[in-house]
Structure 1
């Protein structure tokens, strides 16, 4: 085996490829055309309705420019809508549509199956350990990312 196969970065890249492939397969088999990033955006908009695109990007650790295309596609498919922010008329707020809510609810079992698929060869204890270590690595290296995670949206000023 080559030394490259022992490098953490290489293994992380491979696991990312495997995760995306499993997600695409499970979600596609359930009849949905949705990427992991699109799912993450929908999920965050369910938790944080009426946030702007920059906040959404921070919540899912995705760069703002690329997220613009994701948002455009979700809006074109009727899964989200943009509305004018009443406190800053130049800004747009994002929220799920009824169709987006329905897709998110209906696709959830396929997303869960994806997680089960990629973890299936680990014991429950190993799964817990892996997830703990992945979170620890992601948290410790967050600022090295070109699109760091910003897990808490900014407080909305009182009106």
Structure 2
């Protein structure tokens, strides 16, 4: 019952938002684009908060810190700019999160001997232990996220989200492509 109330509330919120935007005098208002972007944003935010609260809080990790630790676990040694790119954050933010992870003993930094501007980060044994303990719970959340979908719906959503991600790599919001 509570799920139905939340769904109803979300649909009302979406309807109210679209109604308000229809009143604006914006040339060629694309309500479908607004609805898709809004739902994508809200879904991502809810997932992030839920994972931080229910899974990552046991190690006092933010979504971004977990993301960086995960990337180091998967890819091994990475340069700071690559970490920032993979996480979708600035290099300054990546550097700050890496400092926090380093203080916790989850990663270590090294400077390139040929170019001192390049900083490489590696996961430590303690970082591997944490990610290997956390990931099963994290994956359970990923699985629950799609539990109400058929395999066909999951496949369709996966393909559509890839298209969205690809679009974000090729478009510019200032109108230049």
Shorter-chain TM-score bucket reads 0.7 to 0.9
| Residue 28 (structure 1) shift | 4.3
SS of the equivalent of 2:110 reads strand
Is 1:48 aligned to 2:79, yes or no? no
What RMSD, in angstroms, separates the aligned Cα atoms of the two structures? 2.2
- C-alpha spacing 1:93/1:145, structure 2 compared with 1 (3 Å): farther
Partner of 2:116: 89
TM-score by length of 1: 0.79
SS of the equivalent of 2:72 reads helix
Partner of 2:42: 14
Q: Which has the higher contact order (CA 8 A, sep 6+)?
A: 1
4+ residue runs over 3 A deviation: 143-146
Deviation digits for residues 27-70 of structure 1, max 9, x if unmatched? 147x3322222222112112333322111112232222222221
Partner of 2:54: 26
Structure 1 segment 54-65 matched on structure 2, within 5 A? 54-65=81-92
Structure 1 segment 2-151 matched on structure 2, within 5 A? 2=15, 4=17, 7-28=35-56, 31-144=58-171
**Is the CA contact 2:77–2:122 (under 8 Å) kept in the aligned structure 1?**
yes
| Residue 15 (structure 1) shift | 0.3
Q: What are structure 1's unaligned runs of at least 5 residues?
A: 147-159
**Is the CA contact 1:24–1:34 (under 8 Å) kept in the aligned structure 2?**
yes
Cα distance in 2 between the residues matched to 1:28 and 1:67: 18
Count of residue correspondences? 145
TM-score by length of 2: 0.72
Higher CA-based Rg? 2
**Is the CA contact 2:80–2:118 (under 8 Å) kept in the aligned structure 1?**
no
